Structure 1
Amino acid sequence: MTNILKIEMVSTGDEVLYGQITDTNASWLSDFLFQHGFTITSRFTVGDNLNQLIDTLIKRSKENDILIINGGLGPTSDDLSALAAAKANNEELILRQEWLIILAQFFANKGREMPPANVKQAMLPKSASIIDNPVGTACGFKMLINNCVLFFTPGVPSEFKVMIENQILPDIKKMQPNIIKPLCYRLTTMGRTESDLASEIEAKLLVPASIDVGYRSAVPIIELKLTGKISEQPLMDKLWQQLKQLVSDNLLYEGTQGLATVVSQLLQDKSQKLIVLEEQTAGLIAYQLYDQGAPLVKSEVSYNIAHRLNDLMTQFPQALILFLGQFNQDNSQFTLKLVTPKQTYCYQLNYKSRRYDRQTEQQVFSAIALDALRRYLTNQPLVGPNVWLDVIDSAQHCSYNLR
């Protein structure tokens, strides 16, 4: 085995290959292993074609120390991973009675008889050892091909993740027991360009070659990462404080928790109820907050919803009311309004970045609205510095005609 394990993920399935679903398992695995000191050195995707699967397993096993194969363990005819693994290693599939018993019990617990098609999920390569699946019917398995360790996993994310966390990661750690986990500090910003951030960081921070500064851009946010060895933690801590100070006006949150999580926690900490009225964002603001347990009293979506403000202010005098709407397609101007128990804030804003598809624009405006809430709850001006956002007009106790 090499000093640094070469780990490749092989994602299977026509739906992944052709972009019909997003391969979230691959991105999750890369991040999860990195947090434990291992890196995915390459990723490969192959469709539901038996010969291509066999060829992929043979070739990729010659190039890597570990292959993590995801998908193709179901009961249907297009689930080919077990058969491909057997043929790639010149062996046969055999019925594993121990998993067949588990399968039968799985269905019995649900008051159902096991369909005959599920017997296929207990057919594994002769040399394979079972990897338990405590939450589904597709057992994983482990085998050796060309001196490469292959882990076969189900495509369902909840099943895949528990298998990786509880069984496959411990096995990988045994193969390289002295791995040193890297330190990785993360923060997320909004309102500055990646090139602008990079230029200022390079000009003002003295970063040694052993520490990496990374950038990840996903409209409308940019994530900054500081990565290094744990032995360099004192220096990294110092650099981290300097970095946070440099981007303080545009800093949304540290770590990977997400803006909706931050806002939801602030609302909970302050026991502050919230009402969300939104137009262009089509419910995305409320959904993100609801998903994180925010104390939402009401949310409404309409393209003529502003008239509801007065009624809701009367019904819920202690709640915050967030309004985002009146988007003008011609000039990209829109209204952001926050009604609080003490005063009302109203902004007429112009988003002057290039036009995106509807989904991306909804994410942009949702982030602007969530950040306004975050800033209000942390006693900051509602709209922070943003190179893509102009404040056309703003007022407190405003009396805009919102109809």
Structure 2
Amino acid sequence: MMMIKPKIEILSTGDEVLYGQITDTNAAWLSNYLFEQGYLVTSRLTIGDNLQQLTESLQQRSRQNDVLIVNGGLGPTSDDLTAQAAAQASGEKLILFPQWLAEMENYFAQRNQAMPSSNIKQAMLPQSAIILDNPIGTACGFRMMINQCVIYFTPGVPSEFKRMVSEQIVPDLQKQFPVKYRPLCYRLTIMGRSESDLANEIETRLTVPAGISIGYRSAMPKIEIKLTADQYLQSTMDKLWRELKELVKDNLLYEGTTGLASLVSQLLMQHQQTLIIIEQFTAGLIAYALYHAHAPIVHSEVLSSDQDVNSTLAQLRQRYPQAIILALHDVDQRSGQFKLQLLTPKHNHIYQLRYQGRRYSIDIEQAIFSAVGHDTLRRYLLGLPLIGNNYWLEVIN
């Protein structure tokens, strides 16, 4: 069987998406999910709630692609225009699909509700449409062909959309466009180097074989490095991966997509260690990320700039003698100086540090300081020097 890589485009709909009033998380998730299944999205397009533009886009984009995945506009309200646009683009009529009308009536009956008449619209589909089931909502998806392009129409609600994609659309794609090799994607995250300096060293010292691509994604203070290739290049990619990790080992935070807070949480549980977090300036960000990662935190507190940190720490040490205490305090925003304190059952480590990098908005600087706190915990639990090699962080004392 010939393996064909289809041209796949995502077409997102809705004024709120087009105008940036909501983030298009569905398109981002879909691009990554299809990549994991061996399919590459070649382009993405967003169209507002305009019937003529939707119709023209379906006609034009169906001539340029093998697969279109359209998201949104299948609801019961007047601005839900996708089914009507699909009918006009294909030259078909909208007809009532009794089987979906019955599904919706049953959906409401199970909830002891009468179905509003406006929902009938969701059972009006182009004549050639093949229904895609939606077991958790009233907006069915559907599939049809326009200009020899397979088009999948999907609801905008993320939970409904993701289930429809994973359970129905991808299996259908796999039948029509079977994948021989799934792509490999290796990721690691570092902190403490600039993206340009990092890229220059990698490109100077490593040879990236043909078929393997390397990419960078920077979100201060971290940089993600990603290697991608087809599965048949795995042995070559594994060798390059080992070389890359050796090159960045002094700044490496974690591999994969675990996340720094999740790694710290795992290490705390492995060491059967509890944690206390005391913060000034970072507004609880250090604790929040660790709570979200289910870290064994027994106490966390955000102190105002005029509160006595030392007395608070003394009381907490007496109350929790075996816990690790991380305190980030005495922050001087003008000079960038701050204190980072790690109290273990046996030692009290105090560092006077200075952030000497580019100045950012307060929320980004809070994220930077929080990452330093998380990394200090990671380093302690791994038996590493407590302060990492960060070009933007000076150890004063």
Shorter-normalised TM range: over 0.9
**Counterpart secondary structure, 2:250:** helix
Q: Corresponding residue for 1:384? A: 388
**1:258 equivalenced with 2:262 (yes/no):** no
The answer for the alignment partner of 2:250 in structure 1 is 249
Cα distance in 1 for partners of 2:165, 2:284 equals 34
> SS in structure 2 opposite 1:326?
strand
C-alpha displacement of 1:6: 0.6
After superposition, the C-alpha distances for 1:252-277 in whole angstroms (9 at most, x for unaligned) are 11111211211111122222222222
1:205-224 correspondence to structure 2 within 5 Å: 205-224=206-225
The match for 2:155 is 154
Q: Does 1:277 align with 2:286?
A: no
TM-score (norm: length of structure 1): 0.92
Q: Which shows bigger deviation, 119-128 or 100-109?
A: 100-109
Question: Aligned Cα RMSD in Å?
Answer: 1.9
Q: Which position in structure 1 is the counterpart of 2:229? A: 228
Output one character per residue of 1:199-232: Cα deviation in whole Å (capped at 9) or x when no partner: 2222222222222222111221111112223222
Report the Cα offset of residue 118 of structure 1: 2.7
Matched, 1:360 2:364: yes
- 1:2 Cα deviation after fit: 9.6
1:124–1:195 Cα change, 3 Å: same
What one-letter code is carried by the residue in structure 2 that aligns with 1:209? A
Letter in 2 for 1:149: V
Cα 1:65–1:391, aligned 2, differ >3 Å: closer, same or farther? Answer: same
Q: Which runs of 5+ in 1 are unaligned?
A: 394-403
C-alpha change, 1:289 and 1:100, in structure 2 (3 Å) is: farther
Matching of residues 91-102 of structure 1 within 5 Å: 91-102=92-103
Q: Which amino acid aligns with 1:200?
A: E
Residues 117, 363 of structure 1: alpha-carbon distance in 2 compared, 3 angstrom cutoff: farther
Classify 1:186/1:88 alpha carbon distance in 2 versus 1 (closer, same or farther; 3 Å). Answer: same
* 1:192 Cα deviation from its structure 2 partner: 0.9
Contact 1:303 1:325 (8 Å CA) reproduced: no
2:200 alignment counterpart: 199
Q: TM-score, normalising length from structure 2?
A: 0.93
Residue 179 of structure 1 is matched in structure 2 by 180
Q: Is the contact made by 1:86 and 1:125 (CA closer than 8 Å) also made in structure 2?
A: yes
Q: SS of the residue aligned with 1:248?
A: coil
* 2:91 alignment partner in structure 1: 90
Correspondence for 2:324: 320
Distance 1:351 1:34, change over 3 A: same
Aligned match of 1:108: 109
- Specify the alignment match of 1:129 in structure 2: 130
Spell out structure 1 runs of 4+ moving beyond 4 A.
none
* Alpha-carbon separation, structure 1, partners of 2:365 and 2:115: 47
1:91-131 Cα offsets, whole Å, 9 max, x none, are 22222222223223333333433333333222222211111
Task: Give per-residue Cα distances to partners, 1:272-300, cap 9 Å, x unaligned.
Answer: 22222223222222222222221122222
SS state at 2:106 partner: helix
Instruction: Say whether residues 1:73 and 2:77 are aligned partners.
Output: no
